[in-house]
Structure 1
Amino acid sequence: MYPIPLLSFAQNFQTYIKDYKQIFDSSEPEKAHLPQEWANRLDDFQKIMFLKCIRPDKVTNAMQDFVSHNLGQKFIEPQTADLHLVFRDSSATTPLIFVLSVGTDPAADLYKFAEEMKFAKRLNTISLGQGQGPRAEAMMRAAMEKGQWVFFQNCHLSPSWMPTLERLVEQVDPDHVHKDFRLWLTSMPSPQFPVMILQNGSKMTVEPPRGIKANLLRSYVTLNDDFLTSCTGKVDEFKHLLLSLCLFHAVLLERRKFGPLGFNIPYEFTDGDLRICMSQLRMFLMEYTEIAYKVLKYTAGEINYGGRVTDDWDRRCVMNVLDDFYAPKVLDSNYCYDESQIYHQLPPTSEHPAYLAYVRSLPINDTPEIFGLHDNANITFAQNETYRTLNDLLELQPKTATAGENRDVVIEKLAKDVLSRVPKPIPLAPVMEKYPVLYEQSMNTVLTQEIIRYNKLLNVIHTSLQELLKAMKGLVVLSQALEEMSKSLFNNAVPVMWSKAAYPSLKPLASWVTDLIQRVDFVQTWVDNGIPPIFWISGFFFPQAFLTGTLQNYARKFVVSIDTVSFGFQIMKQAVKDITHAPTDGCYIRGLFVEGARWDQAAHVLGESRPKELFTDMPVIWLQPEQNRQVPTSGIYMCPVYKTLTRAGTLSTTGHSTNFVFTIEVPSSKPQKYWIKRGVALICALNY
């Protein structure tokens, strides 16, 4: 049950639809006022619940305002770790622990602090890893006697030595240890890190700089005028290309926050990558008479940064982004990197202080424009942040009751509901009799394989739900797996037991069950009515088999090698309901969504997304098999197709990715680079 105000609020929503539309369209909906009737009846927390329904991308902003209003501004501002304060509260028996996050390294701060405290020569550092345990132990014992500092880096990389470290810390005797001794540790969050050390130590966490401004500042603070003028004969070019390189580094780091729109996999690019590129830039400028852009792009894009990139589509993105930063056009002192002219080159006479002043004048918050992304990318990023926060809050909820109902009652009701709705497995024998293995029709084999896969999943669902209901009545033992399953059902999440036997999906449980019913219905309709005129590609458990089957049918029909056959693509103008017959060769597919752009039906090309429209339907596509086909070099965008919005996948035993399906050539009036930087892709299934 909802609180009474919220219940009547939902019933009354239609009355003030124009006011709510204004809030929806507002750039700051978290600060907008509700209609007078509700402005005073709902408290601040209930207003956040309302905001989550119509503008989930602004929930974190509303949460910040809520915390600031009720607890104070300092609770929403990043706190800097003052080592002087931490050190003052520490003792020889208290370890000082830096909890690391991606992209941070507090070592430089500690070395600087050691110099200030006159301990630079009495600080012993070791990076833990294989075989370093005995050295670290000897170093710590010596430091305890002599009153030195010991700095053990990356404890998470030496889990087998952690019990020894725990024993050493336990054995530190306050009466016999030198009062100046200090133990400094750094570690990523790790289950192997000793709990006792965490409980007894002083803990600090350092966040990486967020935003292009902060990243540029970190890059330039470490430089000086001597370095800027060190490239003899090409000082001006070096300054221009150096700014370009630092901006490229910042853009790569910040693209990650946009999730799969930025990169399929969030790579851990480091300052080391930037430093080696700086050295190579200086070296190649001095060695070559002409600026060797091809060499610079290859070393930076394919080796230094590209060496970390494991996804081919991400590598394509990195190289296209780099094209904008390593190019002759950036040598113009008036060159701007974005249309808003916020990020631009400086005159070649500029010295180091001028560069620092320029960087400090940049806005704190980045616009998606500098990344080549649409404004909607910020909505995607903010929504993902909201859902992550809410999921964390959900995990912290007590497992006893919900809105007056007992937890077990809720789970039992849900289990019975799912059991009644999910269809029983499809009998395989009649299907194999009706659709036997035929040389000229590979789709029969595809159908049989799909039914086998779906039946396995349906069996798991029915069996596990029946077992859970028995366990809740006390008829069988409630195993760990069933306990986890009940927890997932209660949280509206797909149980791990099911997802292991299922296709990739990001949907919550309610949507996932509805989607499964539609998928099985698609297969059942195929069984009952024969091969459909249009295939719902999102409904396949393993779409790659269907695509191979289509190529195989063509190759066998015309007696050609399947290796020489590939797909041509035609985006159809007819609606789904108007297409009643399958094509002579190839097949029609439907069910794809465009992310990062939209299909412009009038111009029949890819077009810009509309504001707040994150995904749009793609029309029916005709896959036309063709022998020895030449891929067009212009007028198209090579668009990857993925099963889910995460895009990243792993190679399965069949040699196929668990997420990437295939590539479609989508007509485009803009160059490929434009859509590559936009992160445009076709998706089989959304997350709702």
Structure 2
Amino acid sequence: MTLFVTKALGISSINPPPLDLKSILRNESNEFEPILIMTGAGADPSQDLEELAKNEIGSNRFYAISMGQGQQQNAIDTLRRAAENGDWVCLKNLHLVIASLPAIQKELSLLQRHSNFRLWLTSEPDDKFPSVLLQESIKLTFESPPGVKNNMNRTYTQWRDSGVSGGMIRQQCLFILAWIHALIQERRTFIPQAWSKFYEFNNADLRAAKLIIEEMTNVDTRAPEWEFIRGLMQYVIYGGRIDSTFDFNVLNGYLLRYFNSSMISTSGAELAKNIPIPASNKFTDYVMAIEKNIPPEDAPSLFGLPDNIRISWEVTESEATIRQIRNMQIGSGVEVTFEWTRWQNALNPILNMWKRLNSHSTLHSMSLPHVNNSDDPIIEVLSLEFVFAVTLVQTVHRSLSAISKCLRGVLLPSSSTMKLAQSLILHETPDAWQDIWTGPSDPVQYLTSLMFKAKATQELMAIAKNGQLLSSAVKLSKLFRPGTLLNALRQLTARRKKKSMDELKLATAWDSALLKDEIIMQLSGIYIQGALFESTLSDTLASSPPFSSVPKLSVAWISTESSDVYKSTESIFIPMYANVNREQLITQVQIPCGKDPQKWH
């Protein structure tokens, strides 16, 4: 789609130039039209406005008010004073006080305004935003610019306005900072592969980091204290927003790679292939380097991501687009009423599929089984898992039966049935089901996975009772809560070794012989994303499938005093998740990677 648009319009990129508030202020704004800035996720123009106000009229003449409960009168009083004196006002987060906007709008219409008066408004998109205020305003959008090049251009546009001085070492450090800031923001495109979640890295982080760089490079002839700089970035600024160990390792990898003495030199060290760091103390040379050397399209290698990550991204984006189109077609904002024909067409396929899934099973109708109290914790855990499976199957069956009865005219739909039907009509898994077990968002996939796991759990319990579970490979995908099986193995190991569970740690090996004399469980059906693996990690190709299978994994609980299976200099620990969305962490797995562990974080 991007290629088609750029070719049809005869443009090099669909991305807009960086937002230049100073240019808009001087060339487009006036005292009569508010400047409304619509913000996107993770974007906050507050710091930019404060910087602009400081340079244009002075900080003491700029009044910023975060709108919320009880702020309406304060905002009106401030507007009156500012309009008379020619000051600036910024009312932030208007989407939180939509009901107060008519009163503020009325006050605006009555004001006598000084020619220097400016009113800035910020808001997230909201369907209830007053149309009159929209029409009277200069409308802007403020989003984190897509792509590393646009991101760095925007950073340098801000720095040009605020002023950047200093020698070559400071300029190079700031260039590296802008690069790292762009990388960690643009990685958010590839969630959950690049980051496990969306982190609110923003301009406040960039400004704090810039202040640190400037403070640490006061003496241009002395090398900066890299460890101190990395520590502040890692634990205070950017790292303070991260709550995942694996994401923290990614940030640490960037800081170690770029903030070191080898990157600061006159020999043209490179941030990436063909992206040298200018050996200059001139601000304009760095602006030119961004324009000349950084490509407009981001290759995965810029982020240290696998070449085939775009396949995963395209799948994720396609699924999201399909959901949006489906919601537009059905009208997700409209409350679903009981329309027999519509329900019949939309819900009968799901009811028929559920009937087929249960055709050779009694799970939906059997009495709820009792938990088997056993000396073997594995048998007991699988018994609990089976009770959970039957409970969920019967809950789903009751809710679908209620819909079926409504379609047959046996009863009228209750509010809970209406809500459930609305989700299914939108092709979304109902919250009532997800609250019990978080599974696929597609209801067809959810029901299919539910029955597969329920039947598989029953089979695993029978195998465990026969004492054969530890002698055969187990697929964790057969369980609703796979982590509980590893905990059961831990309990079993602790009992047999006569140790406390706190004295044990999980060891993983790709050759069971490396876990000699341990109580081993073999796991199969495991897939890896972002690399290929045989005996060690290797790079993917751009054409490689998103997931590739790996050999059986042997796991055992060993003494915390024992060494890890593989050397730390030749291996890394990677997370194992229960699903492709990486929503449920099971454990971490040690995997050989060769001589460069940092490459794989």
TM-score, normalised by the number of residues in structure 1: 0.73
1:607 aligns with 2:532: no
* Equivalence for 2:263: 330
- Corresponding residue SS for 1:524: helix
Aligned CA distance change for structure 1 residues 168 and 207 (closer, same or farther; 3 Å): closer
2:447 is the alignment partner of 1:513: yes
Are 2:475 and 1:565 aligned?
A: no
Amino acid at match of 2:383: T
Give yes or no for the alignment of 1:261 onto 2:261: no
Residue 117 of structure 1 and its aligned partner are, at CA, apart by 11
SS of structure 2 residue aligned to 1:359: helix
1:6 — aligned with what?
none
Q: What CA distance in whole angstroms lies between the structure 2 residues aligned with 1:355 and 1:431?
A: 70
Q: Which moved more, 1:353-362 or 1:106-115?
A: 106-115
Aligned AA (2:211): S
Alignment of 1:108-257 (within 5 A): 124-129=63-68, 132-142=71-81, 150-156=89-95, 159=96, 161-169=97-105, 171-172=106-107, 176-178=110-112, 183-189=119-125, 194-195=129-130, 202=137, 203-223=139-159, 230=166, 235-257=167-189
**Contact map agreement 1:334 1:344 (CA 8 A) in 2:** no
Q: How does 1:335-350 map to 2 (within 5 A)?
A: 335-337=268-270, 340-341=273-274, 343-348=275-280, 350=281
Specify the alignment match of 1:496 in structure 2. Answer: 431
Aligned residues: 569
Task: Find the aligned partners of 2:590 and 2:253 in 1 and give their Cα distance.
Answer: 18
AA partner of residue 538 (structure 2)? G
| Shift, 1:516, TM fit | 1.9
Structural mapping, 1:457-496, within 5 Å:
457-496=392-431
Partner of 2:391: 456
Residue 662 of structure 1 corresponds to which residue in structure 2? 587
Give the Cα separation in 1 of the matches to 2:76 and 2:328.
Answer: 38
Instruction: Find the partner of 1:355 among 271, 286, 309.
Output: 286
Deviates more, 1:320-329 or 1:469-478: 469-478
C-alpha spacing 1:86/1:475, structure 2 compared with 1 (3 Å): farther
> Do the aligned partners of residues 427 and 567 (structure 1) sit closer, same or farther apart at CA in structure 2, a change above 3 Å counting?
farther
Residue identity in the other structure for 1:621: L
1:272 aligned to 2:197?
Answer: no
Q: Which of 371, 389, 393 is matched with 2:325 structurally? A: 393
> Separation in 2 of the partners of 1:119 and 1:584?
70
Does the CA contact (< 8 Å) of 1:595 and 1:615 recur in 2? Answer: yes
Q: Indicate the SS of the match to 2:410.
A: coil
The equivalent residue for 2:235 is 302
Task: Indicate the residue corresponding to 1:619 in structure 2.
Answer: 551
| 1:592 and 2:526 aligned | yes
SS of structure 2 residue aligned to 1:324: helix
SS in 2 for 1:663: strand
Secondary structure at the aligned position of 2:192 is classed as: helix
- Partners of 2:184 and 2:85 in 1: how far apart? 46
Which range moved further: 123-132 or 200-209?
Answer: 123-132
Counterparts of 2:233 and 2:120 in 1: how far apart (Å)?
35
Equivalent position of 1:313 in the other structure: 246
Please report how far the alpha carbon of residue 357 of structure 1 lies from its aligned counterpart in structure 2 after TM superposition.
1.2
Query: Are the aligned partners of 2:453 and 2:478 in contact in 1 as well (CA < 8 Å)?
Result: yes
1:108-133 superposed Cα distances (whole Å, 9 cap, x missing partner): 88789999999999875433357644
Amino acid of the structure 1 residue aligned with 2:196: N
1:474-513 Cα offsets, whole Å, 9 max, x none, are: 43332343233323333443222222221x3335233332
Name the SS for the 1:611 alignment partner.
coil
1:665 maps to a residue whose letter is Q
Q: 1:318, 1:366 → 2: CA distance? A: 19
Partner of residue 581, structure 2: 646
How many angstroms apart in 2 are the aligned matches of 1:458 and 1:226? 61
Q: Give 1:60-99 correspondences, 5 Å limit.
A: 60-61=1-2, 64=5, 77-78=14-15, 83=24, 96-99=35-38
Further displaced range: 205-214 or 278-287: 278-287
Could you give the per-residue CA deviations for residues 203-261 of structure 1, whole angstroms, max 9, x where no partner exists? 4323322222122222233446997653xxxx333233222222111111111111122
Q: Which one-letter code corresponds to 2:36 in the other structure?
A: I
Checking the alignment, whether the CA contact within 8 Å between 1:369 and 1:375 is kept in structure 2 is yes
RMSD: 3.8
- State the partner residue of 1:419: 355
Distance 1:639 1:151 in 2: 46
For residue 451 of structure 1, report the CA deviation from its aligned partner. Answer: 1.4
> Offset of 1:587 from its aligned partner?
1.0
Q: Is the 8 A contact 2:518 2:557 kept in 1?
A: no
1:526 maps to: 460
Report the Cα offset of residue 87 of structure 1. 6.3
Give percent identity, aligned residues only: 21
Tell me if 1:544 matches 2:483: yes
- Whole-Å Cα distance in 2 between the matches of residues 85 and 242 of structure 1? 28
Q: Give the Cα separation in 2 of the matches to 1:420 and 1:524.
A: 19
Deviations 1:3-31 (A, max 9, x none): xxxxxxxxxxxxxxxxxxxxxxxxxxxxx
Q: How far does residue 597 in structure 1 lie from its aligned partner after superposition?
A: 0.8
Aligned-partner SS, 2:200: coil
Secondary structure of the structure 2 residue equivalent to 1:353 = helix
Q: Contact conserved, 2:365 with 2:394, CA < 8 A, in 1?
A: no
